[in-house]
């Protein structure tokens, strides 16, 4: 089976992890801050807070932006459930903004209409979470302008996006957001096994996220609220969590970061190869905005004959190709239906979902495999629908 995504681990990565194993710290040592610093330097963000997953990073990002009961958080329906769940963890209400039918990314026009309506009803969101699907940046300048006009904060869910850029700036630089979150799950662009990171330009937000990451506990004598009791003394100031990344994970992430540009360029080459090989097929590839560079986490196509998606999917799997579908719309998940969402709420997202298929894409994929995959698609398409 050709997987849809796969990590790329070399000897250097293995050595980096093994070195930590025989060091003094398996966790809370020097590797986590080193990884955070390196991601700051790479992206141009000022501060970084590593966490044990992007899901945890999204949760503490919402908390430090003040999301709580009575607040509203809006995200895209075409995403992994974590982009929406983070708001529910905080006791807030989630709602969705429909997507651009070509990219599957949050549509600034749909956002504007929904904001106008929400303003009338007094239901404006506190935070909006655009998701860079496939690693293709959302139209952040437009979303940022709306944020200024309607007073919401922005968390970019860039779980697919590290290594990409928008208007010449790396995703994670937070030029158009308060916080950007990356995932380092093995199918993503670089991996730390499990892991995530929240980037920001705000020292205050970074400091608070670090607090929530580790039980809400402070150890710095300057920050104590009670009189110092001695060197053992620490204070809990918030109800935090254990969302820490280990040094083993950070060492792997740090080592992988050195190959990030190589990964992204390989992924882009393969994506171009796919697009050319599929040019004559009744499919449209989902492409990044002009002027942006995508990290190309996923290579996604839309089938013009959407009614054949299931057939194409099953037939490709039979050919040993692990095609996938990203994603079943979050508002139609049983848990979200229970909250009152229903089919028809976000028609562009629902239509997009019907059309899409994800083809394998990872750095070690070779052109012969891409050819095999594309000829499979061509063969299925050339037969009459069953």
Ligand X SMILES: *Cc1c(COP(=O)(O)O)cnc(C)c1O
Tell me which residues touch ligand X (CB under 6 A). 53-55, 79-80, 82-83, 131, 157, 159-160, 183, 185, 196
The residue behind tokens 């950070």 is 250
In the complex, minimum distance from the CB of residue 80 to ligand X, in angstroms, rounded to a whole number: 4
In the complex, minimum distance from the CB of residue 62 to ligand X, in angstroms, rounded to a whole number: 13
Measured CA to CA, the distance from residue 267 to residue 363 in angstroms comes to 6
When the beta carbons of 233 and 328 are compared against ligand X, the nearer one is: 328
Measured CA to CA, the distance from residue 350 to residue 345 in angstroms comes to 9
When the beta carbons of 95 and 157 are compared against ligand X, the nearer one is: 157
CA 108 vs CA 30, 104, 318: distances in Å? 41, 12, 39
Rounded to 5°, the CA angle 123-80-298 comes to: 130
Parallel, antiparallel, or unpaired: how do β-strands 47-51 and 196-200 relate?
A: antiparallel
Helices and strands, counts by H and E, the chain: 13, 14
What secondary structure letter does DSSP report for 308? Answer: G
When the beta carbons of 329 and 376 are compared against ligand X, the nearer one is: 329
When the beta carbons of 79 and 180 are compared against ligand X, the nearer one is: 79
> Residue 296: left (phi > 0), alpha (psi -120 to 50), or beta?
left
In the complex, minimum distance from the CB of residue 102 to ligand X, in angstroms, rounded to a whole number: 18
In the complex, minimum distance from the CB of residue 157 to ligand X, in angstroms, rounded to a whole number: 5
In the complex, minimum distance from the CB of residue 270 to ligand X, in angstroms, rounded to a whole number: 19
When the beta carbons of 137 and 315 are compared against ligand X, the nearer one is: 137
Measured CA to CA, the distance from residue 227 to residue 26 in angstroms comes to 32
- Asked, as a colleague might, if the bond just before 74 is cis with ω within 30 of 0, I would say no
When the beta carbons of 39 and 278 are compared against ligand X, the nearer one is: 39
When the beta carbons of 190 and 278 are compared against ligand X, the nearer one is: 190
Contact between 5 and 362 under an 8 Å Cβ cutoff? The reply is yes
Measured CA to CA, the distance from residue 54 to residue 309 in angstroms comes to 30
In the complex, minimum distance from the CB of residue 79 to ligand X, in angstroms, rounded to a whole number: 5
Contact between 297 and 79 under an 8 Å Cβ cutoff? The reply is no
In the complex, minimum distance from the CB of residue 196 to ligand X, in angstroms, rounded to a whole number: 5
Contact between 364 and 267 under an 8 Å Cβ cutoff? The reply is no
In the complex, minimum distance from the CB of residue 117 to ligand X, in angstroms, rounded to a whole number: 26
Contact between 236 and 174 under an 8 Å Cβ cutoff? The reply is no
H helices of the chain, in order, are 11-21, 31-43, 54-64, 82-89, 108-121, 140-150, 203-213, 247-257, 260-277, 309-318, 334-338, 347-355, 367-382
When the beta carbons of 133 and 278 are compared against ligand X, the nearer one is: 133
Q: How far is CA 305 from the centre of its chain?
A: 29
In the complex, minimum distance from the CB of residue 297 to ligand X, in angstroms, rounded to a whole number: 8
In the complex, minimum distance from the CB of residue 153 to ligand X, in angstroms, rounded to a whole number: 18
When the beta carbons of 73 and 131 are compared against ligand X, the nearer one is: 131
When the beta carbons of 79 and 246 are compared against ligand X, the nearer one is: 79
272 Cβ contact partners less than 8 Å away, ≥ 6 residues apart? none
């Amino acid at each position: 089976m050709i997987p849809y995504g796969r990590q790329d681990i070399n000897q250097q990565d293995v050595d980096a992890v093994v070195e930590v194993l025989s060091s003094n710290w398996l966790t809370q040592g020097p590797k986590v801050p080193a990884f955070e610093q390196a991601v700051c330097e790479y992206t141009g963000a000022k501060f970084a807070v590593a966490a044990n997953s992007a899901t945890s990073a999204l949760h503490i990002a919402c908390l430090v932006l003040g999301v709580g009961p009575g607040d509203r958080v809006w995200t895209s329906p075409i995403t992994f459930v974590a982009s929406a769940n983070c708001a529910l963890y905080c006791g807030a209400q989630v709602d969705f903004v429909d997507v651009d039918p070509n990219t599957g990314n949050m549509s600034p026009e749909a956002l504007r209409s929904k904001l106008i309506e929400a303003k009338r009803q007094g239901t404006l969101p506190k935070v909006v979470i655009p998701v860079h699907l496939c690693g293709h940046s959302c139209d952040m300048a437009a979303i940022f302008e709306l944020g200024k006009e309607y007073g919401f904060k922005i968390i970019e869910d860039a779980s697919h996006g590290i290594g990409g850029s928008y208007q010449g700036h790396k995703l994670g630089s937070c030029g158009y957001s308060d916080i950007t979150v990356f995932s380092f799950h093995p199918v993503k662009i670089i991996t730390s096994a499990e892991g995530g990171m929240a980037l920001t330009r705000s020292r205050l937000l970074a400091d608070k996220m670090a607090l929530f990451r580790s039980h809400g506990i402070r150890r710095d004598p300057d920050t104590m609220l009670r009189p110092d009791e001695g060197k053992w003394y620490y204070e809990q100031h918030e109800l935090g969590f254990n969302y820490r990344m280990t040094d083993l994970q950070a060492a792997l992430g740090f080592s992988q970061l050195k190959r990030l540009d190589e990964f992204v360029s390989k992924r882009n080459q393969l994506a171009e190869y796919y697009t050319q090989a599929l040019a004559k097929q009744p499919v449209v590839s989902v492409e990044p905005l002009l002027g942006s560079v995508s990290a190309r986490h996923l290579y996604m196509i839309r089938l013009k004959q959407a009614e054949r998606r299931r057939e194409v999917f099953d037939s490709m799997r039979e050919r040993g190709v692990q095609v996938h579908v990203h994603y079943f719309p979050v508002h139609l998940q049983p848990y979200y239906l229970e909250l009152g969402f229903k089919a028809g709420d976000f028609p562009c997202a629902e239509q997009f979902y019907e059309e899409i298929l994800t083809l394998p894409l990872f750095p070690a994929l070779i052109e012969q495999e891409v050819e095999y995959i594309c000829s499979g698609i061509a063969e299925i398409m050339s037969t009459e629908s069953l």
